[in-house]
Structure 1
Amino acid sequence: MADEIELEPLAPQEAIDAFRRKGHAITFSWQDMERDEHSRDFTVAKVASLDILADIRAAMDAAIAEGTTLREFERQLTPLLQEKGWWGRDVMTDPLTGEAREVQLGSPRRLQIIYDTNLRMSYAAGRWERIEGVAAARPWLRYVAILDDRTRDQHRDWHNTVLRWDDPWWDQHAPPNGWNCRCTVQQLGDRDLERMGLSPSSPPSSPPRTWVNNRTGEVRQVPGGVDPGFDYNVGRANMAHMLDVATGKLDLTDDDLARATIQAMVAGRSFSSFLRSPGTGAGHPVATGAVRVGGTRPTVVLPAETVRRQAADGTLPQAADWMRVQAMIDAGQASAQGNVRHITLEGEPYVMEVERGEDGRIKVTSLRRVGS
């Protein structure tokens, strides 16, 4: 049962914030939303009313923030959902096919799944934010499985796997790794490994399987031992969502305040983490635009794909170089689409390539020191 969850009595603030940042989405099937979309929106499949969705969300918020048990969650929601008609089996029209189908609405089993999944994913998102915050001092993550008769064989095999926090294996294997998965990670430093008699591992391998989303037609390879829909790092997706929200606010912020905020962001630990593990999302702010468009001044972003590409070919600049992008923008060196400019700042020659995206923001597609 989900009320046996082995978690802290009260969620860390990061987990609460991760849940509260979400919007709402109406879906018919769990397959209607992609993996990282769950970091942006709260949904319950086959809830067609925002009113009912808001009721379930409010109860889930209390469960995360106040430590409400599954029993209390069910006691609060069951009569409310029954009164509003979202209970038992009913006929609904699938908006994708137009077909009338008999479906399961509210039930004790469904409430348990809603409670368990949202609680674990929120904790995982909050935990990852903490992981990146102290990764310099404690760079190792240990995979921890609950070793009982309910544990998946694959997850049992991964128990005590020790990898760096930025190892690509965590992109698809950071727990939870499936419905009712109770696995978690423990963050460790070098001395912790020595004290516990552990040593770094090689990334475990398990044959992937082909999975077809029969709602969207998407075909992808899902790692063995991971349920479809859980094959992503919810913490990194949550942090990408945080960046996207922050970037939208910066578009509307006073010029001087936006500059100061972005410079502080680029100088901080979160940007260093982004350079090592860019994740998903629109990118990280690195400067403010030189020209306002209407009431906004589009923020200049460093896309994740730029980081991955330049890291792969060994040309990714350090954070100190990205601090200089604002000066390049202010000098008028990157204001039109498709710019490739040669810029010298304080005697250092650079080549910066930018493009303007459909959202109006300038994206840095390459930044290199000449001769490096």
Structure 2
Amino acid sequence: MMAVEYGDLPFDEAISLFREKLSLPSESWDEIWQEAHDHAFIIAGAIEEDLLESLREAVDKAIADGMSLKEFQSQFIEIVKRAGWDYVGKPGWRSHVIYETNLRQSYNAGRYQQLQAVKETRPYWMYRHGNSETPRKLHLSWHQKVLPADDPWWQSHYPSNGWGCKCRVFALNERDMQRLGLSVGQAPDDGTYDWLDKKTGEVHEVPVGIDPGFDYAPGAIKPSERLAQIREEKRNGRS
């Protein structure tokens, strides 16, 4: 798994969206699903409040200050030693997954908000493969695919599209597409597959080429906006 590009990460939208999340104790990563990860900070197996908040503070510093993976791993070792946490996996691997996933999805969520802000002048989005060491064939096939920003395909295929996925989306206008020799295409239809949650028995239909739980657009709904929606739904339910 390649490292996150630290210099791309510390920007206001990414920091703000991460800080709006609620901390949620959990036994496993799939206790919440898809866009729920935009609204809750979880670390699989982290149940104790002090442990979860210490890990959250370390991730926050990584996002806001551009902390390197090596620095984060050092903090991770200190935090789990202090908490006596019996986590799954080796410390290097586990800290890498926590760091990589949280930084990349915070970046992607903030990037989504930025792309929305320029949609009037750059109404087209281009998928760009991220040059992973072990590229997914379908992600390569989506490279330089251009669709309208409001195409429904983005709601399930906006990166990241799996563990370690480094793909990104770029906003374009007509002049950009002429310069790059690109044109607006059709949304790919690669089919779906069923993924069974062995704990609950629930079967999820997932687009082919995307890891379970990653078929959503990070940042599409801010945590504060989702909270407002929930409050409105409750008010309507009582009326």
TM-score by length of 2: 0.92
**Residue 42, structure 1, aligned to residue 41, structure 2:** yes
Deviation, 1:149, is 4.3
**Residue 242, structure 1, aligned to residue 121, structure 2:** no
**Residue 357, structure 1, aligned to residue 233, structure 2:** no
Q: Which has the larger radius of gyration?
A: 1
**Contact 1:87–1:107 (Cα < 8 Å) also in 2:** no
SS in 1 for 2:220: helix
Amino acid at match of 2:92: P
The residue that corresponds to 1:29 in the other structure is 28
Deviation, 1:150, is 1.5
The residue that corresponds to 2:202 in the other structure is 218
Deviation, 1:126, is 0.6
SS in 1 for 2:58: helix
**Residue 69, structure 1, aligned to residue 62, structure 2:** no
**Residue 172, structure 1, aligned to residue 51, structure 2:** no
* 1:329-368 → structure 2 map (5 Å cutoff): 357-358=236-237, 360=238
**Contact 2:2–2:133 (Cα < 8 Å) also in 1:** no
The residue that corresponds to 1:208 in the other structure is 192
Relative contact order, higher structure (CA 8 A, sep 6+): 2
Correspondence for 2:115 among 105, 127, 131:
131
RMSD: 2.1
**Residue 151, structure 1, aligned to residue 30, structure 2:** no
SS in 1 for 2:201: coil
SS in 2 for 1:222: strand
- Is the alpha carbon distance of 1:19 and 1:2 closer, same or farther for their aligned partners in structure 2, counting shifts above 3 Å? farther
Structure 1 CA distance for aligned equivalents of residues 181 and 45 of structure 2: 48
The residue that corresponds to 1:140 in the other structure is 124
Deviation, 1:106, is 6.4
Structure 2 CA distance for aligned equivalents of residues 44 and 34 of structure 1: 14
**Contact 1:87–1:105 (Cα < 8 Å) also in 2:** no
Aligned residues: 239
Kindly indicate which of the two structures has a greater share of residues assigned to helix.
2
Deviation, 1:218, is 2.4
Identity value in percent:
37
**Contact 1:139–1:188 (Cα < 8 Å) also in 2:** yes
Structure 2 CA distance for aligned equivalents of residues 188 and 65 of structure 1: 27
Structure 1 CA distance for aligned equivalents of residues 7 and 154 of structure 2: 22
Deviation, 1:124, is 0.8
Gaps of 5+ in 1: 89-103, 248-280, 283-297, 302-354, 363-372
Amino acid at match of 1:131: L
